[in-house]
């Protein structure tokens, strides 16, 4: 392997960072660079970092240190690259001065410029080796579609605006072009992501753009409608993530009822008590959240509501935490993630009085998740005996593992699918099948595929040994 054209790549962090990594890798391959499998084979190494919480920062610093030790030539990009130290200088360079160059997030061109300086571009790039949809780090049948960068909210627990800047919406025509390219390449599920999906277009006053010769507003409602049409055209589906609960989010529910866009809302409520939300600089209260959830379920009875919450936020009392538990008992959230408060350096919340001890933060998280397991089990039990549509992710002995409309990859549950008797062919990743649910636990479903419900979709797969 020629080190002059070979680059190692380490991608850390959230799906938004993953999209940045995919774009960098696409440019690298388009210019004739190859990806190394080991540090030893690489001419240099790019590390795409995360700096959202302390654990992510430590993981990123460890990855940088390992790359420096094993290879010696390292370019750092991503959220941690934008962080400053207490003197206002670049944080990465202050702790790892041997790093070649540092860029922030969403900096594809800056990364490429750094690569060209330290590993000059090979002669005659083989552009035809790059697929139209670019290089993807996800399985072939699903992909993330990033529609904007940055965030204009300044929640006290978050430093994303400092790392990624204020909201910058991508042109609606380019977003839809990318979506269609992905569907044409065989993608069956598009996961729409950003830091604040519901605010799409707000920074440019919802400017009208054009796609396919027709005007389309840079607005999440019109974008979602167009994505739904594309999904129906190509036999796929669209999932929306990171939906801040703006009033106009109600307009997305009828679009979900049309098909193509899944009845799934990922809404990070973070808490329910009005005083905690005020300290977080988050809008609304538990009562208003309950009203919205009830309205969404009335408009779309099959909707799945996913959310995240924080326990042990500075000043959170036992009474405020119990208020949150009471809210969850009423709200019956379908899918839930919970994190104990992490005092990220630079976050305004660290200046608030009433720091909650770490053991209390963790204990409250455990209590919340125990309650959620009961809620989740109860809600999943209602699906027993029903037929659901499942997208196959992985072939296993006797069947497959897939996901329903209620399950985003890697963060929600899965569906274990048993093939019908007499079916000889393997279920393939990217294939849709109808499944009768037979049993559940607190997170996952088990069921039997209906005969003749699937359609062969030729795609690489990997067998596993997971019982169904």
Q: Quote the CA–CA distance of 258 and 45 in Å, as a whole number.
A: 46
Q: How many residues does the chain have?
A: 468
In 10 A of CB 244, how many CB atoms? 18
- Of 59, 65, 47, nearest to 111 by C-alpha is 47
Q: Where are the beta strands (DSSP E) in 1-105?
A: 6-11, 34-35, 44-49, 74-78, 101-102
In 10 A of CB 209, how many CB atoms? 23
Beta-sheet pairing, 335-340 with 304-311:
parallel
Query: The sheet that has 34-35: what strands, in order across it?
Result: 34-35, 6-11, 44-49, 74-78, 101-102
Sign of the Cα torsion 409, 410, 411, 413 reads positive
Q: Quote the CA–CA distance of 330 and 285 in Å, as a whole number.
A: 14
Q: Which residues are annotated as a binding site for [4Fe-4S] cluster?
A: 14, 50, 79, 151, 155, 158
Q: Quote the CA–CA distance of 335 and 407 in Å, as a whole number.
A: 8
Query: The sheet that has 189-193: what strands, in order across it?
Result: 142-146, 189-193, 237-240, 261-266, 304-311, 335-340
Show contacts of 65-70: CB within 8 Å, 24+ apart: 65/96, 66/39, 67/8, 67/10, 67/39, 68/96, 68/98, 68/99, 70/39, 70/40
- Are 227 and 260 in contact by the 8 Å Cβ rule? The answer is yes
- Of 74, 7, 67, nearest to 43 by C-alpha is 7
Q: Quote the CA–CA distance of 159 and 337 in Å, as a whole number.
A: 20
Reduce the DSSP state of residue 80 to 3 states and report it. helix
The DSSP-derived string for 53-69 is: SHHHHHHHHHHHHHHHH
Cα angle for residues 119, 120, 124 (degrees, 5° grid) = 130
Q: Which residues are annotated as a binding site?
A: 14, 50, 79, 151, 155, 158
């Amino acid at each position: 392997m020629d080190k002059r054209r070979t680059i190692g790549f380490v991608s850390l962090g959230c799906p938004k960072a993953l999209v940045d990594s995919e774009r960098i890798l696409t440019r690298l391959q388009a210019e004739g660079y190859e990806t190394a499998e080991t540090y030893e084979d690489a001419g240099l190494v790019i590390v795409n970092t995360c700096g959202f919480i302390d654990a992510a920062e430590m993981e990123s610093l460890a990855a940088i240190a390992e790359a420096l030790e094993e290879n010696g030539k390292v370019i750092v990009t991503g959220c941690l690259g934008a962080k400053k130290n207490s003197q206002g200088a670049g944080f990465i360079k202050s702790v790892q001065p041997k790093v070649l160059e540092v860029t922030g997030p969403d900096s594809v061109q800056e990364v490429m410029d750094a690569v060209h300086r330290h590993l000059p571009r090979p002669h005659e790039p083989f552009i035809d080796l790059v697929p139209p949809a670019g290089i993807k780090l996800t399985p072939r049948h699903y992909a993330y579609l990033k529609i904007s960068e940055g965030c204009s909210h300044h929640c006290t627990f978050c430093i994303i605006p400092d790392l990624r800047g204020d909201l910058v919406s991508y042109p609606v025509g380019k977003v839809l072009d990318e979506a269609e390219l992905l569907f044409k390449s065989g993608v069956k599920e598009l996961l729409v992501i950003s830091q604040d999906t519901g605010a799409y277009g707000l920074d440019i006053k919802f400017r009208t753009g054009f796609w396919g010769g027709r005007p389309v507003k840079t607005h999440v409602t019109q974008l979602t409608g167009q994505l739904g049409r594309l999904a129906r055209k190509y036999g796929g589906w669209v999932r929306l993530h990171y939906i801040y609960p703006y009033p106009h989010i109600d307009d997305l529910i009828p679009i979900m009822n049309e098909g193509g866009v899944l009845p799934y809302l990922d809404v990070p409520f973070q808490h329910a008590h009005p005083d905690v939300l005020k300290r977080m600089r988050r809008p609304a209260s538990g009562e208003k959240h309950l009203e919205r959830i009830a309205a969404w379920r009335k408009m779309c009875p099959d909707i799945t509501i996913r959310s995240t919450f924080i326990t042990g936020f500075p000043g959170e009392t036992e009474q405020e935490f119990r208020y949150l538990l009471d809210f969850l008992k009423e709200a019956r959230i379908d899918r839930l993630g919970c994190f104990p408060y992490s005092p990220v350096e630079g976050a305004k919340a660290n200046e608030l009085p009433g720091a909650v001890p770490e053991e209390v933060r963790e204990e409250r998280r455990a209590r919340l998740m125990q309650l959620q397991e009961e809620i989740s089990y109860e809600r999943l039990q209602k699906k027993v005996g029903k037929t659901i549509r499942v997208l196959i992710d992985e072939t296993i002995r006797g069947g497959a593992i897939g996901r329903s409309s209620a399950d985003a990859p890697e963060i929600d549950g899965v569906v274990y699918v048993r093939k019908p008797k007499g079916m000889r062919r393997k279920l393939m990743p990217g294939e849709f099948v109808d499944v009768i649910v037979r049993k559940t636990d607190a997170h996952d479903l088990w069921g039997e595929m209906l005969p003749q419900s699937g359609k062969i979709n030729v795609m690489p797969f990997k067998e596993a040994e997971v019982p169904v």
